[in-house]
Every structure is written in structure tokens, then in C-alpha cells.
Amino acid sequence: MQLLARLALSVGAVALVLGGLVALYRVWTRPVNVEGVREYLRDKLESQTPSSLLREPSALYQGGKVVARVDGVTVDGAGKSIRFQRITGTINFLDPGPDPIIFGQYRLRCTKIESMTGTPPTPYLYEAVVCDIVGPA
């Protein structure tokens, strides 16, 4: 009985060693595709990095893309609204569409615009804009 157990263990050990040698042979004799490594690593890093860290501090986002640049940002003390002295952007903030507007770590809804100039395709210029914070980004 011990002889059979020793034989079975020996055969198993030899099979593992041979399998490892075959695997090493295949790794060293076949070409390695390194073309997609950079994109794979970038995608992996971006999926693990919070998107708020990747956002520019002076930009408004919609649908993951920059849609406006801002100047003179003031967040009220209670954290319920943000005031922008100037916004220069490509979307109409009076009717922004279904995607939320994102600034830093906040999701916004613009409620007051003192003045607006510009028509497409030139950028809109907004002054004295107040947006309510409707939640986290």
C-alpha cells in the first residue's frame, strides 16, 4: 500500500515538473505581444483612480468632457451653492440637457445667470452665475 502511495506521489511530482518545464518552454519560445500593454495599464489605472482627481480645477464637465472654463469660484458656507464670476463654454447652461454638470466633486444645476452673450459656434460667455449643488459627482 505504501509503495502505491509513493508511486502515485512520485508520478504527480514528475507531472508537475514536466508541466512547468513545458510552460517555461512556451513562454521563452513564443513571441510576446507588448503592443496593448500601455493601453491596458492606462485603462487599469484610470478605472482605479477616482475621476474627481483627474478633473481640472477650473473646468465644468458634462458627460465626462470639458464643456466650460470658469473664473472666480465661490462656494457658499453651507455648501448648497456655488457662484462663478465668469463661465466660458460650449453648452447652453439654461438648457444643459440630460447629463449633469460636474464641477470638482459636485453635481450642479444652474439657477441664476446675470448675463449671457454668444451664439454657436462661438462660445457662450456667462457672468455672475449661481448653481445649486444637487449632490456629489
The 10 Å Cβ neighbour count of residue 92 is: 14
Residues 128 and 78 in one domain: yes
Residues 40 and 104 in one domain: no
Residues 124 and 59 in one domain: yes
- In tens digits, the chain (137 residues) has pLDDT values of 888 888 888 988 898 998 889 888 887 888 877 777 778 877 777 666 555 567 888 999 988 889 999 999 998 878 789 999 999 988 887 778 888 899 988 899 888 899 888 877 788 899 999 999 998 87
Residues 59 and 42 in one domain: no
- Could you say which of 16, 31, 48 is where a domain stops? 48
pLDDT of residue 69: 93
Residues 42 and 59 in one domain: no
pLDDT of residue 53: 60
Residues 37 and 85 in one domain: no
Residues 65 and 124 in one domain: yes
Residues 69 and 23 in one domain: no
Cite the DSSP H helix spans in the chain: 2-29, 37-48, 51-54
pLDDT of residue 37: 79
Residues 75 and 97 in one domain: yes
pLDDT of residue 31: 80
The tally of domains found in the chain comes to 2
CA distances from 106 to 80, 89, 109, 112, 129 (A): 10, 18, 10, 17, 15
pLDDT of residue 46: 66
Residues 123 and 72 in one domain: yes
- Could you say which of 48, 64, 82 is where a domain stops? 48
How many whole angstroms separate alpha carbon 97 and alpha carbon 107? 14
pLDDT of residue 65: 87
Q: Which domain holds residue 104?
A: 55-136
